[in-house]
Amino acid sequence: MTPTVDERLASLIRSLSQVVLPHLPPEASLAQEQVHLALGRLHILRAQLDAAPAFEAEEAQDAAQHSRDLLTLGGPGAAPLADAVAAAADQDVREQVRTIHAGIDRYIRAAWSGGEPAHRAAVSKLVVAYEHDRVQKDRQWCAPFGFDSL
Amino acid sequence: MTVATDLEPLHRRILDRRRTSHDPEPYRAALISEATDMLAGFFASEVPGATVSGVRRVGGGASKEQFIFTLTDGGHSEAYLLRMDPRLAITATDRQREYDLLTAMNGVVPVPETAWIDPRAEHFPQPAAIMRVVRGVTKPSNSKVKVSGLGTWLGPDFRDRLKGQFLDHLVAIHAYDWRARPVPGFDVPDADPKQAARWIFNYWRELMEIDQGVQRPIESLAQQWLAANLPDTTDMVMIHGDYRTGNYLFDEDTCEITALLDWELARIGDFHEDLAWVLMRLFGTFDESGLFRASDLFEREEFIAAYQARSGRTVDRTVLHFYEVLSSWKCYIICAANALAAARSQHNHQDVLLTFLAGAAPVFADDLVNLLGHGAGQ
């Protein structure tokens, strides 16, 4: 690909940092702040660009596996969750995650509105265990934002 | 659409406004010249003969448009702060309510002195309030830039001199006699013992739905757990709602806290709600020895013990746990729903910052994992 995405991002960074920013007057505090934020975001995008497709694919795979694990517990929301997993199969990876997470949300709601206490406890344990691992991947991915103390 | 839920009446109006906010025109930050014209127009009717000068923008926040300016009237000049909503803010709040509470709190704790308000946007393009400027900084001058004051590092000297004041002011807010001195717009959740917790839970649950927040299993679980574990509130107090380092001004020379800021999330509720917010991981830091300090001031148990000693209240660990789950869940919604909705709508002037803040969502999801790892099936 010519120019590469990396070259295009690099030129945006150079433009903002070396042309736009030095010409902003001191009193343009919001504009300066926004340019600094935009530059930070562009640097992160540039660093994550190559890894993004694999990250998103793994996120979708994890969500689908978690759904299958939940379905082994049965319960009142199992059928709609199975439908959601089936519907997600034909979608792109981002839409897959949204569809499956919406299905899991309905499944958890059903467990609390119509499930037995033992079923709720089993669902909770599985969700917490899954998110314990999944969240660490998300934290690593978002670490360059600077919020996390990882 | 969600059926009518039990909510504080003002929050019902705020949510209805947010649900129906579909103005197609993108929002643009006001230019200095436009802000100057707005202020001149406002004071032409409010203080005829006064002149506005030196208008400049105040940066750093994630929510409002803020400008400092000088008003000169009869040879006397004074600095003021204009605080104006964007069309859609990261947090859905009400300027009149914040203004009335600041007025009530004057003399109770250090707050910016209120001056004028335009609650229905009759003079300004959005609801706005004007306050007298207070001296002070939100972080040490040599501190690194932190988005919205999150994780501000104060350092040992400032820490030792600020922590007592920080605690005293929180205790004073909680001691405010809202029964004897009711504040307009603040309703009391006293229909049943769980109403205080239910109101705040319902408000954020509906915000998550309206803003079509990013779902993930731990958020779904937290929502069900909170609904099933609403605690009784036996000791209702005025709570600040966003009490943390970054939301107060202090004088770097005297180390005096000169103003408590950002009262827009205040309400009458359970004091544990403020304590849980103070203890949030993202609002704290790890000090020189690697020890976590809430708001870079207190160790966790030190804070709880000091609050109990100074307030005379007893902290109920079960109730505190509920409000810690609620705080993490609220912060997740702010990042993964409110910030993204405000950016998507183009009704805010800080899209880049708002989508940046969404990157904090995994931290709050991790907090929920840790908190719900204990007894989530209940």
Phi/psi of residue B109, nearest 5 degrees: -140, 160
The residue among A20, A35, A131, A139 with the most chain B CBs within 10 A of its CB, best to mutate, is A131
CA distance A114 to B104: 46
A40, closest residue in chain B (CA to CA): B356
Q: Which residues in chain A are closer than 8 Å to B355, comparing Cβ atoms?
A: 41
Q: Is B212 left (phi over 0), alpha (psi -120 to 50) or beta?
A: left
Q: What is the arithmetic mean of pLDDT over B344-368?
A: 87
Q: Count of CB contacts below 8 A, A vs B? A: 118
CA distance B351 to B297: 31
Interchain contact, A30 vs B352, CB within 8 Å: no
Q: What is the pLDDT of residues B12-54, one digit of tens each?
A: 999 998 888 766 677 788 889 999 999 999 999 999 999 999 9
Amino acid occupying residue B101: L
Interchain contact, B360 vs A145, CB within 8 Å: yes
Q: Closest Cα of chain A to B43: distance in Å? A: 24
What local confidence, expressed as pLDDT, does residue B193 receive? 98
The residue among B145, B369, B371 with the most chain A CBs within 10 A of its CB, best to mutate, is B369
Sequence-separated (6 or more) residues with CB below 8 Å from residue B305: none
pTM: 0.94
As given in the structure block, the two tokens for residue B201 are: 């839970």
Going by C-alpha positions, the residue among B166, B185, B354, B172 that lies closest to residue B277 is: B166
Q: What is the pLDDT of residues B275-328, one digit of tens each?
A: 999 999 999 988 778 889 999 999 999 999 999 999 999 999 999 999 999 999
Q: Which residues in chain A are closer than 8 Å to B214, comparing Cβ atoms?
A: 101
Tell the residue number behind the tokens 């517990």, with chain if given. Answer: A73
Does the CB of B150 have a partner CB in chain A at under 8 Å?
yes
